């Protein structure tokens, strides 16, 4: 391991097969659980003497790839395409280009159209769409309940997004008591699918949100924020937190406005002409609300509305089974609740290069208290911020001074409020 944990080595970096190591200035690359592509940008210099852009007729849509090795001998590899100039500046005979890049699957997605009736579980649908754009899928957790819908010249990633947001993971329920107006909806649902850099391959990950919170993918050893690093080994340095911040925590008003905890769903049955109101009470769900939130939110805070057309795919004169042709009663509020409560606390930590950490992984943070001379009690861990977090986004930032840092955006759910409850999540 290198003496300096922030050091990295560029093994190769090229545009359209042409080496640009001597022109390199800086680079950033990102994985995010809400984005189905790996994205980033690179800055490089060009001069009248070098003439790289002009001589190679660069249009900024060429192939782009690199391999970088960190201080602990781990590799980060990427193969993608340039995606246009974000910024260009000049000083004398020097030009600085900031160019965006993205994974190759974007190009294939933009050239495919899906026009057909689609039937299968959310996992089946996502698997088919990922194959159409040339990706590889690593799915964890349940496949979900079979769904059916029509794709009218949608692109594969659009079809995939529909399956993720309209799919039922199997934990949702909705009553249907004939002509009764008041009904109940319960459970949670929601899927995520995103892309990561894994051993040189741009792989897709997919899982239900509930499984993500439980640690569907990798869980990494604790990273610790220390006030004194003198005498620490290189390995201890590498697993330390450089800095942290928590910019959003416990914003209950926003969650109330979107109806994440309690809401009423107006579901008018277009097949039977029946008006239904579904009451969703998140206080009855496991691991959705804290005791304090339950005492605050006593009534529905939002009204959602959607026509219910369940018989649209029925192939006979008989009425379709409930929640088959139209599953909105089992996903509309359940997905709204799950998607808006699993990111109750968000923050960011800066680490030394962590090429083995990916979006969707679980990391554990140990943030120690700062003890002043007149403070009461001992130091120890900050119980509010220490614990397990989901990696929402990881960005690797490379500078031309040979230093690299991995900046991670973290999230965790409403019930994971402190060190003790987060460790149980």
Task: Provide CB contacts within 8 A for 144, sequence distance 6+.
Answer: 121, 122, 123, 167, 168, 169, 170, 189, 191, 208
- Binned at pLDDT 50, 70 and 90, residue 423 comes out as very low
Q: Residue 90's pLDDT is what? A: 87
Of 169, 236, 162, 192, the C-alpha closest to 390 is 192
State how beta strands 387-399 and 8-15 pair. Answer: unpaired
Any idea what DSSP says for residue 4?
Answer: S
**CATH class given for the domain over 217-249+344-424:** mainly beta
Q: How many Å apart are CA 200 and CA 3, to the nearest integer? A: 26
- Binned at pLDDT 50, 70 and 90, residue 50 comes out as confident
Write the pLDDT tens digit of every residue in 307-356.
999 999 888 778 889 999 999 999 999 999 999 888 777 789 999 999 99
- The answer to whether the CB of 109 falls within 8 A of the CB of 151 is no
Please list the residue range(s) of the chain that carry CATH number 2.40.30.150: 217-249+344-424
Residue 328, token pair as written in the block: 């909105």
Write the pLDDT tens digit of every residue in 357-401.
999 999 998 877 665 555 554 556 666 677 889 999 999 999 989
Write the pLDDT tens digit of every residue in 232-288.
666 778 889 999 887 767 689 999 999 999 999 999 999 999 999 999 999 999 888
The separation between CA 18 and the C-alpha centre of its own chain, rounded to angstroms, equals: 33
* pLDDT for residue 415 is more than 90: no
Q: Residue 412's pLDDT is what? A: 79
Of 425, 411, 414, 421, the C-alpha closest to 252 is 414
Please list the residue range(s) of the chain that carry CATH number 2.40.10: 8-103
Q: Residue 425's pLDDT is what? A: 47
- The answer to whether the CB of 125 falls within 8 A of the CB of 206 is no
What is the DSSP track for 285-330? Answer: STTSS-HHHHHH--S---EEEEEE-GGGG-SSSSPPPTTSS--HHH
Of 404, 292, 286, 422, the C-alpha closest to 347 is 422
Helix (H) or strand (E) holding 165: helix 156-166
Which of 125-129, 227-231, 380-384, 404-408 is the least confident region? 227-231
- The answer to whether the CB of 325 falls within 8 A of the CB of 310 is yes
Any idea what DSSP says for residue 275?
Answer: E
Q: How many Å apart are CA 163 and CA 186, to the nearest integer? A: 20
- The answer to whether the CB of 137 falls within 8 A of the CB of 203 is yes
- The answer to whether the CB of 280 falls within 8 A of the CB of 333 is yes
Angle subtended at Cα 108 by Cα 103 and Cα 109, rounded to the nearest 5 degrees: 90
CATH topology of domain 8-103: Thrombin, subunit H (2.40.10)
- Binned at pLDDT 50, 70 and 90, residue 57 comes out as very high
Q: Residue 382's pLDDT is what? A: 67
Write the pLDDT tens digit of every residue in 177-208.
988 999 999 999 999 999 999 876 789 999 99
Q: How many Å apart are CA 173 and CA 404, to the nearest integer? A: 48
Q: Residue 135's pLDDT is what? A: 93
Q: Residue 422's pLDDT is what? A: 53
pLDDT-above-90 percentage for the chain: 71
């Amino acid at each position: 391991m290198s003496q300096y944990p922030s050091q990295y080595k560029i093994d190769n970096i090229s545009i359209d097969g042409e080496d640009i190591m001597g022109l390199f200035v800086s680079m950033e690359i990102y994985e995010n659980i809400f984005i189905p592509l790996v994205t980033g940008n690179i800055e490089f210099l060009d001069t009248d003497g070098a003439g790289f852009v002009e001589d190679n007729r660069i249009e900024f849509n060429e192939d782009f790839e690199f391999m970088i090795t960190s201080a602990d001998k781990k590799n980060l590899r990427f193969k993608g395409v340039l995606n246009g100039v974000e910024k260009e500046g000049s000083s004398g005979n020097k030009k600085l280009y900031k160019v965006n890049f993205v994974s190759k699957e974007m190009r294939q997605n933009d050239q495919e159209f899906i026009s057909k009736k689609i039937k299968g579980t959310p996992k089946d649908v996502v698997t088919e769409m990922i194959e159409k754009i040339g990706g590889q899928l690593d799915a964890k957790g349940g496949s979900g309940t079979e769904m059916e819908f029509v794709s009218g010249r949608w692109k594969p990633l659009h079809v995939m997004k529909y399956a993720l947001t309209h799919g039922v993971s199997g934990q949702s329920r909705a009553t249907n008591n004939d002509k009764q107006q008041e009904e109940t909806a319960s459970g949670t649902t929601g899927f995520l699918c995103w892309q990561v850099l894994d051993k040189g391959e741009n792989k897709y990950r997919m899982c239900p949100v509930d499984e993500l919170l439980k640690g569907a993918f990798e869980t990494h050893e604790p990273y610790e924020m220390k006030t004194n690093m003198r005498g620490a080994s290189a390995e201890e340095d590498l697993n330390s937190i450089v800095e942290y911040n928590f910019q959003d925590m416990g914003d209950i008003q926003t969650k109330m406005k979107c109806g994440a905890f309690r809401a009423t769903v107006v579901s008018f049955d277009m097949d039977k002409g029946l008006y239904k109101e579904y009451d969703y009470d998140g206080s009855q769900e496991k691991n959705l609300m804290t005791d304090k939130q339950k005492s605050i939110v006593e009534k529905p805070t939002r009204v959602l509305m959607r026509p219910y057309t369940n018989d649209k795919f029925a192939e006979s004169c008989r009425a379709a089974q409930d929640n088959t042709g139209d599953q909105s009663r089992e996903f509309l509020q359940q997905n709204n609740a799950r998607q808006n409560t699993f990111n109750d606390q968000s923050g960011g930590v800066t680490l030394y290069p962590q090429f083995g950490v990916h979006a969707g992984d679980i990391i554990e943070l140990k943030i120690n208290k700062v003890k002043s001379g007149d403070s009461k009690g001992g130091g120890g861990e900050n119980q509010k911020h220490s614990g397990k977090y989901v990696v929402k986004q990881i960005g690797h930032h490379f500078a031309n001074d040979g230093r690299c840092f991995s900046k991670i955006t973290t999230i965790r759910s409403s019930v994971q409020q402190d060190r003790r409850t987060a460790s149980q999540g």
